[in-house]
Amino acid sequence: MEPTASPPDAAGPPPGATRSTVTLHVNGVPHRLTLDHRTTALDALRVHLGLTGTKKGCDHGQCGACTVLVDGWRANSCLLLAVALDGSALTTVEGLADADGLHPLQHAFMERDAFQCGYCTPGQLCSAAGMLQEAADGHPSHVTPDTVTPGAPVELTADEIRERMSGNLCRCGAYPRIVEAIGDATAHPAAPPVPHTVHGIGAVSVNGGGRTAS
Amino acid sequence: MKPFAYLRPDTVDEAVRARAAHPGAAFLGGGTNLVDLMKLGACAPDLLIDVGRLPLDRIEELPDGGLRIGATVRNSDLAAAPVVQERYPVLSQALLAGASGQLRNAATTGGNLLQRTRCAYFQDVSTPCNKREPGSGCPAVEGVHRDLAVLGHSAHCVATHPSDLAVALAALDAAVEATGPDGARTVPVTALHRLPGEHPERDTVLEPGELITAVRLPPPPPLAHGRYRKARDRASYAFALVSVAALLEVRDGVVHHAALAYGGLAHRPWRATAAEEALRGAPATADTFGRAADAELSAARPLRDNGFKVPLARRLTVSVLGALAARHR
Amino acid sequence: MSHDPQPVPPEAPRHPLGAPTARREGRAKVTGAARYAAEHAPPHRVHAWPVPATVARGRITSVDTTDALALPGVHAVLTHENAPRLEPPEDPAVAVLQGPAVPHRGWYVALAVADTLESARAAAEAVRLTYAAEEHDVTLTPDHPGLYLPKEVNGGYPGTRERGDFDAAYAGALVTVDATYTLTALHNHPMEPHAATAWWDGGHLTVHDSTQGSTKARDDLAALFGLDRRDVTVVSEHVGGGFGSKGTLRPQAVLAAMAARVTGRPVTLALPRREMPAVVGHRAPTVQRVRLGAGADGVLTALAHEVVTHTSTVKEFVEQAAVPARVMYTSPHSRTVHRVVALDVPSPSWMRAPGEAPGMYALESAMDELAVLLDLDPVELRLRNEPATEPDTGRPFSSRGLTRALREGADRFGWRPRDPRPGVRRDGDLLLGTGVAAATYPVLIFPSSAEAHAAPDGGFRVRINATDIGTGARTVLGQIAAEALGVPEERVRVEIGRSDLPDAFLAGGSSGTASWGWAVHKACRALREDLSNRQHPLPREGLAVAADTREEIAAGSPYARHAFGAHFAEVQVDTVTGEVRVRRMLGMFAAGRILNPRTARSQFIGGMAMGIGMALTEHSTMDPVVGGFTERDLASYHVPVCADVHTIEAHWLDEGDPHLNPMGSKGIGEIGIVGAAAAVGNAVHHALGVRLRTLPLTPDAVLPHLP
């Protein structure tokens, strides 16, 4: 992150720079952008980079349509300021698959007709990709039985998928199909989880598992 | 949203000094609440001090058997940490009952505690709100307040605190470590959040320049079981109507240790000390649990449309304590 | 792992119609390539941000845009003082920035235009307006002195209908039900906020708009701006849901077009989510009194459905909730009445199955109450009240599959054996119950036109300004064309979603596939005929045939034409918290020929999911103090999440009906929500043993009645 004006002096008057130059690695491609600090990751993607696959549904973290993977972790890009993501790697729906193929989740969503209007779909797909990795990493959910060994991969029952995907609204009501599609993708032998990089949204070190320190 | 400057300090000291130098500044953690409020115009800092990457991202086991949770540990990591799941299940459960997977990946421990009320009038800058604009009035008292407070509110503010995490921490006797211009101090979570009184604009006892750096948990009561339960309008991704965090240890059919805290009832996570007093030494029966809830909730002063929270809190109390007691049989 | 066992239907039937063809735009949607209205970025595009009124009634007394215009990157601030004048619109709700009057809170009063979204938002916040606020009245009460009898209700139905002598028949009935049901306002909240990107090229206006029908949007914009329709193009290639709220022209298109004219730049305006409830319509709240009189056999002798609702002071829109009672059950004596009051509230409008969705909640709840009184199985009660002809008109039904839908649905759901006693099935802290309700939705068909083209290479192209709001319109029109042409679907290209294509009706009233499909079918049949009569090879430019269905549709039908259905639900009521959740749901539909089982099933299920929201989670409060909707965002207005929607099955009858259209189809977009909330509510009664007559059934409503 480089402020476009002189760096603020922590002891002086309020710093004046309201724009900074940041580097965002989007779908494997580094982009240097000079952005208004008010610009969210979502608007940086949609407006500045023309990557409109990521959707704006509510702009307040209440619908999940803007979900992207930040260093492998799913997050609402509408609540992330681009300036705070300097150096981060973002994966959007445009980058889920390799080259011109489809990610198994994309394939499963088409097979199961797991969408109608399609507006929540990119967020559902990115959320599902992040969610699969979370479950594999042993992250529990609200419905995970307390008999499950902490830290062990969590089996994704339909109830688990429903709870874990509840941050992504679908007004067309495709939920039953979405749950089936994600179930299909988990069973798919070639379903590659989108790997987390070592630098998480908040790179963190946890005793006994989780993210490693930055 | 007005333009603002941005600073990402490398150390806590640097962050605190920057904040002290700029009265219009705010600390930015995960941003899940602050960015939301800035878009609404309910908060308008002219400098964001990004503390999200400060080296406060560790969960440490303490020599006394407790735990020290760095302020920037993400909610999802905290909930997933085996040490938390094994020794403080109520904490893990509370976190997982809140928000969504996406939000928990971004929200920090410190930020979660400092989130602002979800009262509709606070969020809508075109309406009066004493919390947002002191002295402007509180339309919620006469207006729409189904989700608002029944305990500890004032004529000036009937807002509730929305955190699930804070409720569990209140029951666990946690304390926050904060650093300000005058040095570091420790504040019990139960004393962190204020009641609104005449100054609802102040959510917590922290001074404007103070930064939460960690949450410290004492060792869990060795034989107590814990549980968090939340009632809400939809099955997931909704704020609590009422929630309860409980720890209970029963010996020979008698309550030996009990800790109880409520969410969704007040301007702060509500540690139910009167209920705990009624529980201690009493037989672990539904009758006792109900009387304990009554002891706490007799102080409730519901508004026109939120009286349901009182019986809901009572029912949750009896159910959760009953389930915990059953595990001692 | 176990998942809901409802596999995608088997592949490869012999005919394109009825095949489970995958969505043509599916790949574009799952890869993010599909562009919606705000996602078109012509060179030099700028962004707009609206300013909503902060009083519920009054007048703007002063406007100060100095601060806003002084911000960097701001191009213009439009207010009623400087905005382009519009011709008087057909819908007064789109006459934005035309005067100082504020008819409701959230009415748009200014628009800021700037280089960036951030600057536009800041400029909108910096606009200073003062108002002379007047006292407002936003509260609907069943005895409001302003209530009146509207001549017509939505859909063009008469506001009041009387048949026989209801009062005498009701007074003489052996068994009576008199119950009043109360529904809050509901909000459509499609996932794509209403958005438009507009620009002027000389005198030509082009708008990418999130609309359910760009032919009508084009005509309305042309009228507003005093243009010939040929000078306006509206494009709606992909639309992120609508559920009625994008059925008519909305302020975003008008404001974007105004701003583009003033600034000379392409302008994008996407409405902020929390402002939508005030400006894109809502389902009006209703208070519905239903009175049923019956004999010991359960056969109705008297039926009254009286609806009280609100409209705005801007325009009259009356939710036609009593209309389905004119269709559903036999009764010699009937009264169906609407009363409405104009309040200082946002204008209500269409939301998925307007009229039927709220009306059938009340009627089907009352039928359940009657079944309980008579100790009669609620499926059986409905079977006993099947009319021979449409009760209100005496016309024969073109087809009426309700009896079969109830019977076959009951079998598939495992309805029997059912212990009718309420409040006796327990699973730990949970009380369980099952409920049934019927569904109906009219068959609506509107004139449309289409063009079919054959190329010398053997390819075909169909052009029609249909709109795909998520229904799969492209796909099913390709199937219809292929069937009519007698060629494989892959050889048919389908062009939709632009107003310079042949005119077509909007995607609404579950009429799209029937209306568009008929025109496509007609054009393709004519083309096929031409081709078969042809002696010479096709010229290089190919051969095109146009068709429209004005005559066919004007001819009308002597039949009463409706789709029917039956919903079955199993719920659990948590006796600790009062939380109600739907465990499983099954819908059985009789909707003519199902043209694409894959996309049809998705629509049925989607409607049922929205019905779960209506029954359990979606609540909107009209704030009497500040005079506006309180739950305006998606954190407080509870659209169901994935965890609220468990197993939902949708099935249908193989219903042949020769009196519909060449495809034999009825509409399917709305019937899924009709009756769904009643089935859930009836199941809650069965679980709990208490009749709750106000939706949604959130914990606060249920708690006082828990054991």
Among C570, C631, C655, C670, which one carries the catalytic annotation? C670
Q: Is the dihedral of CA C676, C680, C685, C687 positive or negative?
A: positive
Q: Which of B22, B73, B236 sits opposite A142 (nearest CB)?
A: B236
Alpha-carbon gap: C91 to the closest alpha carbon of chain A (Å): 26
Report phi then psi at C358, rounded to 5.
Answer: -70, -40
Rounded to whole angstroms, what are the CA distances from A47 to A19, A24, A205, C186? 16, 14, 34, 32
Rounded to whole angstroms, what are the CA distances from A145 to A154, B88, B321, B324? 10, 15, 19, 16
Q: Could you report the per-residue pLDDT of C508-521, keeping only the tens digit for each?
A: 999 999 999 999 99
**C128: in domain:** no
Rounded to whole angstroms, what are the CA distances from B36 to A74, A208, B2, B146, C232? 18, 33, 14, 22, 38
Using CB atoms within 10 Å of the CB of residue B117, give its burial: 0 to 12 exposed, 13 to 18 middle, 19+ buried.
buried
> Domain holding C548: CATH number?
3.30.365.10
Residue C371: both structure tokens together: 């079944």
pLDDT at B328: 83
pLDDT at A11: 40
Q: Could you report the per-residue pLDDT of C527-577, keeping only the tens digit for each?
A: 999 999 999 999 999 999 999 999 999 999 999 999 999 999 999 999 999
How many Å apart are CA B231 and CA C574, to the nearest integer?
10
Query: Given an 8 Å threshold on Cβ–Cβ distance, is C4 in contact with A169?
Result: no
| Fold classification of A2-95 (topology level) | Ubiquitin-like (UB roll) (3.10.20)
| Neighbours, chain B (3 or more CB pairs < 8 A) | A, C
- C4 pLDDT band (50/70/90 cuts)? very low
Q: What is the DSSP letter of B204?
A: B
The three-class DSSP label of residue A134 is helix
Residue B281: both structure tokens together: 């030494």
| pLDDT tens digit at each of 329 positions of chain B | 999 999 999 999 999 999 999 999 999 999 999 999 999 999 999 999 999 999 999 999 999 999 999 999 999 999 999 999 999 999 999 999 999 999 999 999 999 999 999 999 999 999 999 999 999 999 999 999 999 999 999 999 999 999 999 999 999 999 999 999 999 999 999 999 999 999 999 999 999 899 999 999 999 998 999 999 999 999 999 999 999 999 999 999 999 999 999 999 999 999 999 999 999 999 999 999 999 999 999 999 999 999 999 999 999 999 999 999 999 87
- A196 pLDDT band (50/70/90 cuts)? low
Question: E strands within chain B?
Answer: 5-7, 25-28, 47-50, 59-61, 67-70, 175-180, 183-188, 211-217, 225-231, 242-251, 254-263, 270-271
Q: Which of A37, A76, A203 sits opposite B6 (nearest CB)?
A: A37
Report the candidate in C590, C578, C586 with the shortest Cα–Cα distance to residue C608. Answer: C586
**C496: in domain:** yes
How many Å apart are CA C375 and CA B81, to the nearest integer?
55
**C542: in domain:** yes
Secondary structure (DSSP) of C441-484 = EE------EEEEEE-TTS-EEEE-----SSS-HHHHHHHHHHHH
**C69: in domain:** no
Q: What is the DSSP letter of B59?
A: E
**C253: in domain:** no
Give the ipTM.
0.97
**C296: in domain:** no
pLDDT at B329: 78
C residues 621-650 closer than 8 Å to B (CB)? 621, 623-626, 630-633, 635-636, 638, 640-644
Q: What is the DSSP letter of C639?
A: -
Q: Where are the domains of chain A?
A: 2-95, 104-187
- A1 pLDDT band (50/70/90 cuts)? low
How many Å apart are CA C617 and CA C638, to the nearest integer?
5
Domains contained in chain B, CATH given: 225-326 (3.30.390.50)
Mean pLDDT throughout C495-503?
Answer: 98
Residue-range definition of the domain harbouring residue C545: 26-34+445-554
Alpha-carbon gap: C426 to the closest alpha carbon of chain B (Å): 16
Q: In the predicted model, what is the mean pLDDT of chain C?
A: 96
Alpha-carbon gap: C183 to the closest alpha carbon of chain B (Å): 17
Would you say residue A197 has pLDDT above 80?
no
* Amino acid at the residue B314: R
Report the candidate in A140, A127, A118, A132 with the shortest Cα–Cα distance to residue A92. Answer: A127
The pTM of the full predicted model, rounded to 2 decimals, is 0.96
Mean pLDDT throughout A51-55?
Answer: 98
Would you say residue C227 has pLDDT above 50?
yes
Number of domains in chain C: 1
Residue C631: both structure tokens together: 């739950």
Q: What is the DSSP letter of C490?
A: G
Mean pLDDT throughout A150-178?
Answer: 97
Q: What is the DSSP letter of C270?
A: E
Angle (CA) B288-B294-B295 rounded to 5° is 90
Q: What is the DSSP letter of A44?
A: I
> Roughly what angle, to the nearest 10 degrees, separates helices A175-187 and C597-612?
120
Report phi then psi at A91, rounded to 5.
Answer: -115, 125
Query: Given an 8 Å threshold on Cβ–Cβ distance, is B143 in contact with C642?
Result: no
How many Å apart are CA A42 and CA A169, to the nearest integer?
17
Mean pLDDT throughout C470-476?
Answer: 98
**C469: in domain:** yes
How many Å apart are CA C160 and CA C158, to the nearest integer?
6
Strand partners, C492: C460
Q: Could you report the per-residue pLDDT of C170-218, keeping only the tens digit for each?
A: 999 999 999 999 999 999 999 999 999 999 999 999 999 999 999 999 9
Report the candidate in C108, C112, C43, C40 with the shortest Cα–Cα distance to residue C73. Answer: C112
Q: What is the DSSP letter of C317?
A: -
Would you say residue C2 has pLDDT above 80?
no
How many Å apart are CA A60 and CA B42, to the nearest integer?
13
Mean pLDDT throughout C130-159?
Answer: 98
Report phi then psi at C523, rounded to 5.
Answer: -65, -40
**C274: in domain:** no
Residues 6+ apart with CB under 8 A from C165: C333
Q: Could you report the per-residue pLDDT of B173-203, keeping only the tens digit for each?
A: 999 999 999 999 999 999 999 999 999 999 9
- Does the domain at A104-187 match CATH 1.10.150.120? Answer given as yes
- C1 pLDDT band (50/70/90 cuts)? very low
Q: Could you report the per-residue pLDDT of A67-100, keeping only the tens digit for each?
A: 999 999 999 999 999 999 999 999 999 999 987 6
Q: In the predicted model, what is the mean pLDDT of chain A?
A: 86
Based on the residue annotation, tell me whether C319 is a catalytic residue of this protein: no
- A7 pLDDT band (50/70/90 cuts)? very low
Residue C133: both structure tokens together: 């606020």
Note whether C29 contacts A: Cβ–Cβ < 8 A: yes
